A and B are shown apart, each in its own frame.
Chain A
Amino acid sequence: MLYDVTIDGRNYRLGLERTDEGWRCQLDGREVLLDAVLARPDVLSVVIEGKAYEIKRERTATDLHLWVGGVRYAAELRDPRSLRSRKGGAGDDTGPRKLIAPMPGKVIRILLQEKAKVEPGQGILVMEAMKMQNEIKSPRKGTIQRILAAEGANVNAGDVLAIVE
């Protein structure tokens, strides 16, 4: 199998093949001595040229992360022969910015109204989850274009609460 993998913004070409003896692995054209077994779902034991690693995989509908030791790598995996790809989280920095609920919870208070000017980091509304109140802050300087959440409303993680532009 051939994969294009992006980690920390750098692209790698990975060739992997299972043989009777184990694995054949090429990383960017270089032969790597690899041994790998799936220890349990989402946990891999990898031995590369004598060095042993326990690697954990975390995935959501949109993201793929790999933990090597205590370090978390956002990964994107593509099969160069197909259009199918696995994305690692990406943000859109241009245009109006959405204020996203970072967790499921309840909107307790709306602090600013539509058309109000905001500074970066200024609180726009207050959410409560797990008994803690948290201010949801503006991601940028601008004007509140819309407020989509109502006081007292229950929201899910990822819901758009307001739009700042």
Chain B
Amino acid sequence: MGKRESYTLESASPPVPMFKKILIANRGEIAVRVMRACREMGIPSVAVFSDADRASLHVLKADEAYHIGPAAATESYLKFEKILEAAKRSGADAIHPGYGFLSENAKFAQACADAGVKFIGPVAAAMELMGSKTRARQHMEIAGIPFVPGTSRGLDSGEQAAQVAEKIGYPIMLKAAAGGGGKGMRLVHGPEGLASALESAKSEAQRAFGDGEVYIEKAIVNPRHIEMQILADEHGHTVYLGERECSIQRRHQKVLEESPSPIVNPDMRGRMGEVAVRVAKAAGYTNAGTVEFLVDQEKNFYFLEMNTRLQVEHPVTEQTTGLDLVHLQIRIAAGESLPFRQEDIGVRGHAIECRIYAEDPDNNYFPSPGKIMLLLAPSGPGIRRDSGMYEGWTVPIEYDPLLAKLIGYGTDRTQAISRLVRAMHEYFVGGIKTNISLFQRILRDPEFVAGNVDTGYLDRLLKTSAPAAERGDAGVAVIAAGVFEMLEPMGSSLAAGNGSAASAVSGWKRAARTEAVSNT
């Protein structure tokens, strides 16, 4: 990557017509994120929603909204016909899939093309190739990309799995071919655990992706997980935008990501970036994508898979490159050329993202849906919050527990960390449990502060007991308990958690306005 230069986002190629209207086939924070980009670009946005999401934030933020069915995703957010019908009714000429749901479904991309609606993402053929982790491995083998040993085909039987595992040696990793986000993935230490792990990985994959194909990879013990963001236009230009360190995971679900990685220097970034661009070109890839690598202790990197969509953690790249990836996705899909070259792209400062999940840290991180009774949101220098929640909203049980992302940016890693520590102190979500306290712990942990993380880091941290909190303010809590009881008694209707339907609605409106003003 070259030094940072000023450049204009205006395309050098002749102006192409922009979309008239964009439908966002998603929900939660990412739907809100994409709608914000649409509004910034002057493009009307269309929300779709299930029964469980009528009052969700993305419906409040959209210009138009269409109901697409019951709460179960298979009957709503995963239903091609319903989404395409909403596109037709609204007159949307493009669909942004967000992440998850249909974002990596090549058949859906093809169905969009057939319906004359632009899918904001790669073409179906590239998705099909990369969307199947097994086919991607076969293809990259031919292109000479370094990757982790294992099968390049799905497993037919338990016996076959046992043979392959024996050959490459335990520990092995079972992975859903259609997978992502840790679903349908199991680490197996020895033959005795293989059969049950295979069965549960298959059933979870079937449930999550409608495809039970599972393959085997040799497990590299405690690797780092580092990924490279790429952008490719439809005129043959492909660039990389720097890496994201995503090693901090719990049950294969990313929890905290940062850019740049503490261990990647400009030389390594250049080499990884070039491989990532080669992967994308080999697949005929267009639009935004992410090439994931496993990095071993000697800093060798292996191609893992390509995510053919916008990633949850894209904001850290936006903060360090100064680019808006959703704007660029839309412009690329509209047919514009990339408005910069590789040497124009620079990485400046440091960004860290914390994923705020509805989970109970005191109860083994069980999901904790429910009504958000109180929401105090952080702001201030270097803080970005991409949120899908608001006070008074009930977090539904049907979907992913990701509520919001808090991103800290600073001139260097130390400043980014201290800003996040400060912001976490300001952040309060009452009524449901969240993992905010986990970040208080990670961000202060000496190993994290030193940048010594790998994919086993979080499990190790959680095995140690949390440093005992200073409980010196018990007297203050006593006084507060009494003052609360006098000013706002627990039984009073003003303070009651479950008000009438009418007051709940006005609470939603109020909270939505507050969010709109304070979300930066």
Give the interface of A toward B (CB within 8 A): 1, 3, 5, 7-8, 10, 12, 14, 16, 18, 23, 25, 27, 32, 34, 36, 38, 41-44, 46, 48, 53, 55-60, 64, 66-71, 73, 75, 77, 86, 102-105, 128-134, 157
> In the complex, how many residue pairs between chain A and chain B have their CB atoms under 8 Å apart?
160
Report B-chain residues with C-beta under 8 Å of the C-beta of A27. Answer: 475, 478-479
Q: How far is the CB of A110 from chain B (nearest CB, A)?
A: 14
A68 to B370 Cα, complex, angstroms: 23
- Which listed residue, A67, A69, A70, A133, touches B200 by the CB 8 Å rule? A133
Query: What are 5 A-to-B residue pairs whose CB atoms are below 8 Å?
Result: A1-B486, A38-B487, A103-B397, A130-B399, A130-B401
Select the stretch in B85-93, B140-148, B292-300, B488-496 that faces chain A.
Answer: B488-496
Are A70 and B477 in contact, CB atoms less than 8 angstroms apart?
Answer: no
Flag B350-369 by CB within 8 Å of A: 1 or 0 each: 00000000101001101111
Are B374 and A103 in contact, CB atoms less than 8 angstroms apart?
Answer: no
From B488, which residue of chain A is reached at the shortest CB distance?
A38
Interface positions, chain B 278-332, Cβ under 8 Å from A, are none
Are B480 and A102 in contact, CB atoms less than 8 angstroms apart?
Answer: no
Report A-chain residues with C-beta under 8 Å of the C-beta of B210. Answer: none
Are B486 and A18 in contact, CB atoms less than 8 angstroms apart?
Answer: yes
Are A16 and B483 in contact, CB atoms less than 8 angstroms apart?
Answer: yes
Given A102-B363, A103-B369, A130-B369, also A73-B397 (CB < 8 A): no
Are B488 and A42 in contact, CB atoms less than 8 angstroms apart?
Answer: yes
From A127, which residue of chain B is reached at the shortest CB distance?
B366
A44 to B488 Cα, complex, angstroms: 10
Q: How far is the CB of B230 from chain A (nearest CB, A)?
A: 28
Report B-chain residues with C-beta under 8 Å of the C-beta of A1. Answer: 482, 485-486
Q: How far is the CB of A66 from chain B (nearest CB, A)?
A: 5
Give the interface of B toward A (CB within 8 A): 183, 200, 204, 207-208, 251, 358, 360, 363-364, 366-370, 373-374, 376, 397-401, 424-425, 428, 430-431, 437, 440, 469-471, 473-488, 490, 494-495, 497
From B494, which residue of chain A is reached at the shortest CB distance?
A41
Given A43-B374, A131-B399, also A71-B369 (CB < 8 A): no
Are B401 and A46 in contact, CB atoms less than 8 angstroms apart?
Answer: no
- Which listed residue, A44, A48, A86, touches B490 by the CB 8 Å rule? A86
Are B473 and A68 in contact, CB atoms less than 8 angstroms apart?
Answer: yes
Given A42-B495, A102-B360, also A56-B400 (CB < 8 A): no
- Which listed residue, A10, A48, A57, touches B476 by the CB 8 Å rule? A48
Are A42 and B430 in contact, CB atoms less than 8 angstroms apart?
Answer: yes
Contacts A59-B497, A73-B474 supplied; 12 other A-B pairs, CB < 8 Å: A27-B475, A53-B473, A57-B374, A57-B480, A58-B373, A58-B431, A64-B481, A70-B440, A105-B397, A129-B397, A130-B369, A130-B400
Q: How far is the CB of A50 from chain B (nearest CB, A)?
A: 13
The 7 closest A-B pairs by CB, nearest first: A130-B367, A73-B477, A68-B473, A55-B480, A130-B401, A102-B366, A66-B477
Give the interface centre of B183, B204, B430 by most chain A CB atoms within 10 Å. Answer: B430
Are B430 and A58 in contact, CB atoms less than 8 angstroms apart?
Answer: yes
A69 to B487 Cα, complex, angstroms: 21
Report B-chain residues with C-beta under 8 Å of the C-beta of A34. Answer: 479, 483
Are B473 and A105 in contact, CB atoms less than 8 angstroms apart?
Answer: no
Report A-chain residues with C-beta under 8 Å of the C-beta of B437. Answer: 70
Given A36-B483, A69-B473, A70-B440, also A41-B478 (CB < 8 A): no
Report A-chain residues with C-beta under 8 Å of the C-beta of B482. Answer: 1, 3, 5, 14, 16, 77
Q: How far is the CB of A54 from chain B (nearest CB, A)?
A: 8
